[in-house]
A and B are shown apart, each in its own frame.
Chain A
Amino acid sequence: MRAAFGETLLRLGDQYHNLVVLTADVAKPTNVYAFSQRHPDRFFNVGISEQDMVGIAAGFSLSGNIPVIAAFAPFLMRAWEQIRSTIARVSLNVKIVGTHAGLSASEEGSSHQSLEDVALMRVLPHMTVVVPGDKQEIREATEALIEMSGPTYLRLGRDEDLRFLEGDRVFQLGKAAILRDGSDMTVISNGGMTPEVLKAVEQAKVSARVLHMPTVKPLDQDAVLSAARDTGHIVCVEEHSIIGGLGGAVAELVADKCPVLVKRLGVNDDFGESGPRDELMRKHGLEAAAIARELAAIKGGNVP
């Protein structure tokens, strides 16, 4: 998955001569290493100093460059205030990429897991927040974010070869994709959770609309409100805290415009811990079987 980002960045580097890449001593794990080899004059490893990196990116942007900054999502968040005050506040064209997001740093433990980044980025005015699902979508989302002007946050999670979206052009900024339709409820998810959701809908034998929602901000309001009107109940699934992320965004909108039940599935106001990723996901109810149980309960009228 991160490899797809690295390859795309390499290609965009050839295309955009004002694109520069910065990292904080994590060139290899964030997959910007290939870029550093192809374009050493446009690559800056600033060392283990995320706050400095964000400021330097601001300076590049103010000089007409397109800076891409890549680091582990939890440690990028230590520079949240720099992102707020110096980048988002004046809408600088800085492309922020947080890798190893969600529970994907698994065995490293909660210090290295990032369950709050979507909430922290989403609250910032001017910020675009994207959580792509599979390899192709990562490629297309990376390209779309470089093409647009303004600050963006791209969230990359687990590093496996996911491919569940079909078609030539799967990603549209600010647009949800309807992966299947149904009438009992709508399930909204993003990132690597969507394939689990598709399995869960099969297992639960419910008639559900499945909305894959890679863009958390700006949210595809039409898709959410149509779902609320057409199917009633909405279930949101994400590898993030249930506070402030995709589920939060959907719940805010639905409460304002078309109140229906919104059930948020994710990590329930908790930190992670060390362990194999599968077991962590199971513990937090983020595997197909657990999601299926929730869907079946909602269909049966047992809303916990």
Chain B
Amino acid sequence: MNAVLEIIDQRHMDEIQLLKERIKSIRRSVLDMTANTEGGIHVGSSLSCVDMIATLYFMKMRHSPHRPDWSERDRFILSKGHAAPALYAVLAEAGYFPREELQTLRAMNSRLQGHPDLRTPGVDAPSGSLGQGISIGIGMAVAAKRRGSRSRVYVLVGDGECDEGQIWEALMTAAHLKLDNLVLVIDRNGWQLDDRTEEIKRKVPLKGKLESFGWQTYMVDGHDPEKFLDTLDLSELSEWPTAIIAHTLKGKGLQMIEDTNKGHKIRLSNEQYLAAIKDLEEASQ
């Protein structure tokens, strides 16, 4: 019996190892886009949530790059649409479109718009205007239940985004409807465009707010795929919608901007790009 458990354990460790390698490749894609895109991209915000998006797509969600419109798939909504490069890098890694296409981000006629819309294979919902993803997720979660589907819906919002009133309308609705197939991930990187989140508009106590709205709420390190995955597993046991407050660093892994607002929207110079790649290599050793 112990031998079987050991094999399962080893298999899990192998999968996590593979995930970490994929995340490294995805992070490199994000850095490539940050260097390639003329007007710059929201790299800080992309690097704070990219580990979680990758973990969802490679370890949790049921989906198929060969059939992006498969009706039984799990859905992912990037409500904080400015982190689109993170989502695009994951979708390319998963095989929804060729990785080379990432170079066309924000260019004329590209399928990769500055903020997500439906022309990109694998994108489940449009976003860009903040605060709307949970509502869209509610519609999808109810629709899934109505057709007797096991499909689950994951929505990722930013902590700054929680300033939007519609977020709180939707939190009430989802708890009212007891949507146990809806999972909210809050990318708690502590920054928004102008300043620290707590300076602009106080978010704490975020966990208390979510719990009082009727959500099963967890806190987790958003840069620890294993722990994040455990929490996603837990969400499947809840009778209520689940919120995961994921503590993250804006610009995670890119030393020159990490946990500052300097990388809200930038383009990397050649020198900066080389330094960034060096950071990435060192971090994964």
Residues of A in contact with B (beta carbons under 8 Å apart): 20, 41-42, 44, 46-47, 49, 51-65, 67, 81-82, 85-86, 89-90
- For the complex, give the distance between the alpha carbons of A81 and B143 in Å: 24
Q: Does B229 contact A (CB under 8 A)?
A: no
- Which of A46, A59, A81, A89 sits near B136, CB closer than 8 Å? A59
Q: Does B235 contact A (CB under 8 A)?
A: no
Asked whether, in the complex, the Cβ of A49 is within 8 Å of the Cβ of B143, the reply is no
Q: How far is the CB of B130 from chain A (nearest CB, A)?
A: 10
Known contacts A41-B146, A85-B126; is-contact A59 B138 (Cβ 8 Å): yes
- For the complex, give the distance between the alpha carbons of A55 and B169 in Å: 11
Measured between beta carbons, the chain B residues less than 8 angstroms from A54 are: 135
Given A51-B131, A55-B134, 12 more pairs with CB closer than 8 A: A44-B142, A55-B133, A59-B138, A59-B141, A59-B142, A62-B125, A62-B136, A85-B128, A86-B126, A89-B117, A90-B117, A90-B126
Asked whether, in the complex, the Cβ of B126 is within 8 Å of the Cβ of A55, the reply is no
Residues of B in contact with A (beta carbons under 8 Å apart): 71, 117-118, 124-129, 131-144, 146, 165-166, 169-170, 172-173, 176
Measured between beta carbons, the chain A residues less than 8 angstroms from B141 are: 59
In the complex, 17 of the A-B residue pairs with CB atoms within 8 angstroms, ordered by the A residue number, are A41-B146, A46-B169, A47-B169, A51-B135, A51-B165, A51-B169, A56-B135, A56-B138, A56-B173, A63-B140, A65-B139, A65-B143, A85-B126, A86-B125, A89-B117, A89-B126, A90-B117
Number of A-B contacts (CB under 8 A): 101
- For the complex, give the distance between the alpha carbons of A46 and B142 in Å: 12
Asked whether, in the complex, the Cβ of A52 is within 8 Å of the Cβ of B118, the reply is no
- For the complex, give the distance between the alpha carbons of A13 and B144 in Å: 19
Measured between beta carbons, the chain A residues less than 8 angstroms from B135 are: 51-56, 58-59, 82
What's the dominant secondary structure at chain B's contact region?
helix
Measured between beta carbons, the chain B residues less than 8 angstroms from A67 are: 139
Q: How far is the CB of A162 from chain B (nearest CB, A)?
A: 35
Asked whether, in the complex, the Cβ of A82 is within 8 Å of the Cβ of B166, the reply is yes
Nearest chain A residue, comparing its CB with the CB of B119 = A90
Measured between beta carbons, the chain A residues less than 8 angstroms from B71 are: 63-64
Asked whether, in the complex, the Cβ of B132 is within 8 Å of the Cβ of A85, the reply is yes
Q: How far is the CB of B181 from chain A (nearest CB, A)?
A: 12
Known contacts A85-B128, A86-B132; is-contact A59 B166 (Cβ 8 Å): no
Asked whether, in the complex, the Cβ of A60 is within 8 Å of the Cβ of B143, the reply is yes
